[in-house]
Copies of this chain bind each other. A is one copy, B any other.
Amino acid sequence: MTRIQDVAQLAQVSTATASRALSRPQQVAAETRERVLEAARQLGYQPNVLARSLRQGETRTLGLIVADILNPFHALLAKGVQDTAERHGYSAFLFNSDEDPQKERRALETLRGQQPQGVLIVPTSGAGRNLQTLPGLPVVELDRVSGQPNPTVTVDNLDGAMAATRHLTGLGHTRIGMVVGQQDITTATERHTGFRQALRAAGVPYDPALVRPGHHREDDGYRAALDLLSLPAAERPTALFVGNNEMTVGAVLAARELGLRIPEDLSIVGFDDSRWAQTMWPPLTVVSQPAYELGVLACDHLVGLLTRRGGVPSASLPLPATGPPAPAPARLQLPTQLIVRRSTAPPPATILPAPPAADPA
């Protein structure tokens, strides 16, 4: 690799001048500047950011840890972050925790070695502990919250879940099942709470027997839905609210397998929109989340934090006794949107003794 020394030599200047010509052009005589730029072009010079970062004490690098890059929601969120980081002149390094606190810990350690100036994270259930290994490093939590005093960028899960539930009660459903996510992840509990509150507001009793837990995977949704939909006809829910996109796929497959027509026999509302939700048949009614914007907002906020605190994070100066107290960490929240498609309808008028025959998958 060509070094700045090579450029300097070819342009007949010192490395200092070469460096200046490249990064503070106006500090250098026009003619010299041209020589250096030409030399750099000719040699295909690209500065070694490692050396630069080491010298400047800032890497212009961010860490990004998502829980599951194969989930389109997280992929889109990651894209929002990376695009935004680039706009601000940062690079965002992407890691995957696969929803596993152990892997998250390893990712954070690896990341720490890279000296990022800040970290964006979709925290796993173990993030509380893991994040304490990063003292002095600005962290923004995305989508969920770990309980640590970090800024968070989330969507209004409570409101989204309420809107979904209200939609179902509004159609006349009174036996509504829910497939909830892991109870140690905030999005899951918030959606569960929203579900209960909306039921209460509609005067529909909350029946714990109609609520099944899952771990966010398609298969969990499948099993939970199969379970709920196999109840005797008089107890079986006429509508299902599913807590995330993956589990919704499973729930739809379960309904299909049982020969239940959507929405005639069963209404389904999913949380988080997706290509699949739009193109399955019938298209799915969902609570959509602005995934890309979530990433953009989180990254903008983090960069803002870095800019304000002035580049070099000085963990060595814990808290200057004087000066204004640090402001409380921001809690940014984006709205969700209920998109009514064709998977929801009023409940069947009469209780059918058995599911109607249909083509079993």
For the complex formed, measure the closest distance between the CB of A105 and the CB atoms of chain B, giving whole angstroms. 12
Tell me if A54 is interfacial: C-beta within 8 Å of chain B: yes
A82 at the interface (CB under 8 A from B): yes
Report the interface size class on chain A.
35 or more
**B-contacting residues, A277-330, CB 8 Å:** 279-281, 283, 315
Interface contact B276-A256, CB-CB below 8 Å: no
Contacts of A275 in B (CB 8 A): 218, 249, 276
Question: A75: which of B50, B69, B252, B315 is its contact (CB, 8 Å)?
Answer: B69
Digitize A130-147: 1 where CB-to-B-CB distance is under 8 Å, 0 elsewhere: 000101000000000000
A314–chain B nearest beta-carbon distance, Å: 10
Residues of B within 8 A of A47 (CB): 113
Binds B, one of A91-99, A184-192, A199-207, A344-352: A91-99
Closest beta carbon of chain B to A108's beta carbon, Å: 10
CA distance A54 to B48 in the complex (A): 9
Determine whether A112 belongs to the interface, using a CB cutoff of 8 Å to chain B.
yes
Least CB distance from A113 to B in Å reads 4
Give min CB distance, A319 to chain B, whole Å: 18
Contact A252 B279 (CB under 8 A): yes
Is A38 an interface position by the 8 A CB rule?
Answer: no
Name the distance in Å between A358's Cβ and chain B's nearest Cβ.
11
Can you list 13 contacts pairing A with B, beta carbon distance less than 8 Å? A44-B135, A46-B112, A49-B114, A50-B50, A50-B59, A69-B75, A72-B72, A82-B95, A91-B110, A93-B93, A249-B275, A252-B279, A279-B280
Other than the known A44-B135, A279-B280, what 14 A-B pairs have Cβ atoms closer than 8 Å?
A1-B315, A48-B54, A49-B113, A49-B114, A49-B115, A69-B69, A69-B75, A69-B78, A70-B72, A70-B79, A94-B94, A253-B279, A256-B281, A281-B281
